[in-house]
Amino acid sequence: MTVNVIFVGSLKESFFAEAVAEYEKRLGAYCKINNILIKDERLSDRPSDAEIATALRKEGERILAAIPPRSYKIAMCVEGKQMKSEDFASLLDTAATSGYSEVSFVIGGSFGLADEVKSACDKRMSISMMTFPHRMMRVILLEQVYRAYNIIGGGKYHK
């Protein structure tokens, strides 16, 4: 299985980059990871709603162009469904047994994802009702993907 992580904005903090690298190394036993960086739009210090909407639209166009068309697409967004780790593992396993060779997770920037991106995805998923920095979401998502594959494989990581 190939897992694509499509994300807006680069990791600036070394501690996030180190954590991402650690989970990517661990995931190497289960799947191939593709990181797809989408350039974030620069906004003013106090952006208007119109400026935010324009930025989301432009980022959304780049995201849609980057999503592999035959992958199972999951938008990471606040209005998405929350699930237990076991259910997430089942989702990944079902995608694989349903003929998908790729799963693509889409993480937006600090203002989220354009509606067009969410609509193009097969599923909307939320990690928590709490708010996290979007750069931290890559770490949290990769940890959960690692946990899911460990659950599928009958490993001992998940307790």
Q: What is the pLDDT of residues 98-156, one digit of tens each?
A: 999 999 999 999 899 999 999 999 999 999 989 888 889 999 999 999 999 999 999 99
**Residue 159, pLDDT above cutoff 80:** no
The crossing angle, in degrees rounded to 10, of helices 134-152 and 85-97 is 70
The pTM for the full model equals 0.94
**Residue 41, pLDDT above cutoff 80:** yes
Tokens of 98: 């349903």
Tell me, what's the pLDDT at 135? 85
Mean model confidence pLDDT for the chain: 95
Domain assignments of the chain as residue spans, ordered by start: 2-152
Q: Which of 11-15, 28-32, 61-65 has the lowest mean pLDDT?
A: 11-15
Provide the CB-side half-sphere exposure for 25 (13 A, CA).
6
Candidate CATH numbers 3.40.50.300, 2.60.120.10, 3.40.1280.10, 2.40.50.140; the one for domain 2-152: 3.40.1280.10
**Residue 84, pLDDT above cutoff 90:** yes
